[in-house]
A and B are shown apart, each in its own frame.
Chain A
């Protein structure tokens, strides 16, 4: 517990101070990455903690984002933050409940495909109907307010995003320590045993799925309000795929890993897109990003979060002959 606690204090302290140190560009970039970190955390609850590989997380994110804008008052007055945020979360959760109720009847690769199908369904609804402005997307003209909080002010926006990530992180940490969280871990490691022991696993998985969708919707809401713009790409499978890469890059099974992975992924993307660094090759950033990620996964199979332990082991001459935890789990 010592490591995670110091990580939280240090990391969130740094993030809180960041806008003071960096300019508005830097603050905006980190705000965006924090939103993706929240989204990655929501996926980690499913993939890393429960063992459910969901390939449709973008749908819940997109629904939260579209809800933020579509539920704005039409008379040009500012939406009430206290109302529109819970509504956006509830809508995403509702869709997750429906998708989960059906997809959780399948397992393994079928589960991956079914969640993908449902998210693509949502994607085509916003892409091909006039509901959300079609392919052009829609704008948010007046940002939500609540009392003295005005999300048009970048500092307020940054603060809300920071707080959301902190609350999301702490909430999930506690959840995973609770009896519910331990049951999810049990389901990940050995679902059959959980059934034989007396756990009805379906309601547990459905609750986790819905909760994860709600968190993704929360992230989507923040994204829409920060940029004041949404388009169907927010729901596309590309984002779902990137999220999986983030949590794998950071280290599955660790919440810190998801946050680190989101930062690493976004910063690598920034780097490879920078013409100042790579000149004309920057337009091929997909290639350099892809190769780098492949190298990371090859050399850091347990992700960034396990890097210190991996280095320590390397330095101490591999005298620790015990098999790593992950290898054992796969055998179960």
Chain B
């Protein structure tokens, strides 16, 4: 199963008026791989995630999920088909508990909207998924805490847990390490190592050490364009990348 292409963006372009945020970018994500995307602020990394996840429609280009053309699918449908994403800024339900944040995310795959006589809080399936994902990211001892009061690092972990609760095949992670301390970063990277076994992961990240350590492939973007794609070593030694991004040293 390792090596299957799960998500593919083909010649994606997104224009905002005269600005081309993403310019003819192609990317493919395989199970068992962490594909890092790096680039300066405004290089189009987050826009790329938004195009792949269906938050915006591309101006041109195509998105294939598990071999199916999903270019015209709305975001919720892509999510139900196995595309999970996390956000750069914490996008959680602050007034709910950790457990309920995860449970509600799990509910997306088990909606049963008509069953108004059932109690969501005691629903066995979604509750056990919620427990499971909270434990996996290391939030097992904070299940009943209201997430507005969690630390920043815990909120980032929760983002991942909520993503996992939807049982995705592909994870699009937008700066999951942003603002995290060394210890929290370490824990997150270990988690990603485990997750990549059965997921295809796109990792947009500013922490270069982390990306070069964990990514199997790295794509470098500048001003909406891909200037290099390759293994960490190839990218590190690529002259274009050295001048454009890493600095000429």
Contact = CB atoms under 8 A, between A and B. Distances in A.
B95 A189 contact: yes
A198 B92 contact: no
Contact of A201 (B76, B103, B117, B166): B76
Given A177-B120, A181-B120, A193 B55 contact: no
Contacts of B245: none
Interface string B106-121: 0111111111111111
Contacts of A207: 113
B27 to A, nearest CB: 19
A75 interface: no
Interface stretch (A41-49, A83-91, A308-316, A322-330): A322-330
Contacts of A323: 148
A196 B120 contact: no
Interface in A141-197: 174-175, 177-183, 185-186, 189-190, 192-197
Given A180-B114, A329-B94, A200 B74 contact: yes
Contact of A198 (B76, B87, B103): B76
Main secondary structure of the interface of B (DSSP, over half): loop
Contacts of A183: 104, 107, 111, 113
A182 B104 contact: yes
- Size range of the chain B interface in the assembly: 35 or more
Main secondary structure of the interface of A (DSSP, over half): helix
Contacts, number: 107
Nearest to A331: B94
A276 interface: no
B215 interface: no
B69 interface: no
Contact of B79 (A174, A186, A197): A197
A204 interface: yes
B172 to A, nearest CB: 10
A163 B80 CA distance: 41
B93 interface: yes
Interface residues of A, number: 33
B94 A178 contact: no
Given A177-B121, A180-B116, A186-B104, A198 B95 contact: no
Interface in B74-100: 74-77, 79-80, 85, 87, 91-96, 100
Given A174-B116, A195-B79, A197-B105, A179 B111 contact: yes
Interface string B41-56: 0000000000001010
B162 interface: yes
Residue in A190, A201, A323 with the greatest tally of chain B CB atoms within 10 Å: A190
Nearest to B111: A179
Contact of A197 (B74, B108, B121, B146): B108
11 contacts: A177-B121, A179-B123, A179-B126, A186-B104, A195-B55, A196-B55, A197-B166, A328-B95, A331-B94, A332-B93, A332-B94
